[in-house]
Amino acid sequence: MADGSFLGALARGAAPAEAFSNSDLVDQRPGRGFFAALTDWLGKTIRLTDSDFWREWVGTSASGEPVTINRSLQLSTVWACVRLISETVSTLPLRVHQRMPDGSRKLAQNHPLYRLLSVSPNKEMTPARFMLMVVASICLWGNAFVEKRYIGTKLVALDPLLPQRMVVKRLDDGSLEYTYTTAGAQRVIPERSIMHIRGFGLDGICGLQPIQQGREVFGSAASANNAAAAIFAKGMNASGFLSSDNTLTAEQRSQIRDSLARFAGSNSAGRLMVLEAGMKYQGITMNPEAAQMLETRGFNVEEICRWFRVPPFKVGHMDKASSWASSSETQNMQFLTDCLRPVIENIEQEIQRCLMTPADQGVYYAEFSVEGLLRADSAGRAAYYHAALNDGWMNRDTVCTKENLPKPPGGDIYTVAVNLVPLDQLGKQPSGNEQARGAMASWLGLDRLEAALNQLTSASKSPSTNGSASLH
């Protein structure tokens, strides 16, 4: 894991690498520490048999594996799920739109938020890197914090903060206090200067930490991986035993163990073992499938995917791919609806609430463009565009823009199929030949000439014109 990676920074924070850290303990607050964990047990008798207390205190699961953000990211499925969600959302275009009086919309490129969300949130980040860190924080910590930077009253930058360094507290007046720790010093950030994006939660203050809430799932997966690795480290031999007709002393047993230690491990595979004094070795065989625990580890992949609401085929687990939709477009629709849509909608609404003024909230809004995820194959897109052009709700310029093609001359004209006739007008419309003759006469100007002649004739017959008429 690279030191500069977002996932590494989110996992480590400022704390040294340990089996567990106080900030990893289970709580609805992202900055839970020693005293916060202790207060839940004040007034209660704690015994050595209180597994719930000790398990929470040391951050371990029932399997005995410590569960922290850093250790969970070492599981390939967790790494793949977090990367998939965060990178997918970060690559979706985020634009600010203006609602028009006729119900349409247009890009609000002159709005101050357009530059921050679509060009450069701050001097160090691109929009994709900024959004990747925000979404990864939600996936791992259940919360994302963004500090708003102002010059006077003008919003000039958005800086994402590490959630493990933040403590959120409800004050007596009902407001929230945000205390952030950096370089060993604490500073209080005003609530108006924070955009707090919460994941799934129960108290409305902070989102629950997905990793700690699912520590049994992740601990079981880590235990299965460690057990399989231990078997491979022993050269695929689960165990074995030596038998002898003679009774051995404690010193002889110790000497035999030390001698056999040279033959343990995969690096010692193939060495010849010399047995003496009538001793016999019998190994316990294990087939490769059982050694790798494929079924258990495969089930753990599905469990972790279920925790992050990611379809297993999205992370390369194809055992049950037949239960999903066959077309890539439908698969992407399921992924968008079940997994990404709640995250996207949550971010859009927080942008509306925290970054826009009350006067702008009814006129402007931010929205992710998800059309790229729903992009069909060439045949499907051709049928879609053909129907849109024939029905007149899309012109050729729009189609070329969506397909990144040059716009043709006259492509801004909306066209409809001319043979679409209302039911009550059937039999009353002119035939195709009559329509063709009318169009040709209009093009040649014959219809205007005929109108002028009719006007001249009517004027000559009228006594009030005194026999004079004008040809227009």
- Span 153-179, pLDDT tens digits: 899 999 999 998 999 999 888 889 999
- Minimal CA–CA distance to 350: which of 215, 196, 214, 231? 196
pLDDT at 463: 60
Whether the predicted pLDDT of 59 surpasses 50: yes
Cα separation, 415 vs 93, whole angstroms: 30
DSSP-derived secondary structure letter, 327: S
Residue with the bigger pLDDT between 288 and 105: it is 105
Least confident of 122-131, 309-318, 443-452: 443-452
- Say how many C-beta atoms besides its own lie within 10 A of residue 458's C-beta: 11
For residue 241, which amino acid is it?
F
Q: Residue 470 corresponds to which tokens in the numbers above?
A: 């004008």
Whether the predicted pLDDT of 210 surpasses 60: yes
Q: At what angle do helices 76-90 and 127-141 cross, to 10 degrees?
A: 140
Residue with the bigger pLDDT between 134 and 362: it is 134
Percentage above 70 pLDDT, the chain: 64
Residue 368's pLDDT band (cuts 50, 70, 90): very high
- Minimal CA–CA distance to 370: which of 396, 333, 326? 333
Residue 370's pLDDT band (cuts 50, 70, 90): confident
Q: Residue 242 corresponds to which tokens in the numbers above?
A: 């030596």
Q: Residue 369 corresponds to which tokens in the numbers above?
A: 């463009």
Whether the predicted pLDDT of 322 surpasses 50: no
CA distances from 466 to 81, 457, 471 (A): 91, 13, 15
Least confident of 100-109, 217-226, 285-294, 388-397: 285-294
Can you point out the beta strands (E) in 152-287?
154-161, 166-170, 176-182, 185-189, 194-198, 239-243, 280-284
Cα separation, 231 vs 217, whole angstroms: 22
What value does the mean pLDDT take over residues 270-291? 62
pLDDT at 285: 57
Q: Residue 363 corresponds to which tokens in the numbers above?
A: 């006129």
- How many helical (H) and strand (E) elements, i.e. helices and strands, does the chain have? 19, 11
pLDDT at 420: 61
- Minimal CA–CA distance to 194: which of 177, 207, 211, 182? 177
Whether the predicted pLDDT of 208 surpasses 60: yes
Question: Sheet harboring 176-182: ordered strands across?
Answer: 166-170, 176-182, 185-189
What value does the mean pLDDT take over residues 415-425? 67
Measured CA angle at 134 (ends 131, 137), to 5 deg: 145
Segments making up each domain of the chain, as ranges: 1-233+299-375, 423-465
Whether the predicted pLDDT of 432 surpasses 70: no
pLDDT digits (tens, 9 = 90+) for 67-103: 888 888 888 899 999 999 999 999 999 999 999 988 8
Cα separation, 57 vs 391, whole angstroms: 65
- Say how many C-beta atoms besides its own lie within 10 A of residue 314's C-beta: 20
Cα separation, 146 vs 159, whole angstroms: 5
Residue 26's pLDDT band (cuts 50, 70, 90): very low
pLDDT at 374: 72
Mean pLDDT for all residues in the chain: 76
Cα separation, 416 vs 117, whole angstroms: 38
pLDDT at 267: 56
Rounded to two decimals, the pTM is 0.67
Residue with the bigger pLDDT between 293 and 56: it is 293
Cα separation, 309 vs 471, whole angstroms: 77
- Element at 152 (helix H, strand E): none
Cα separation, 51 vs 36, whole angstroms: 19
Residue with the bigger pLDDT between 302 and 8: it is 302
Judged by DSSP in three states, 147 sits in: strand
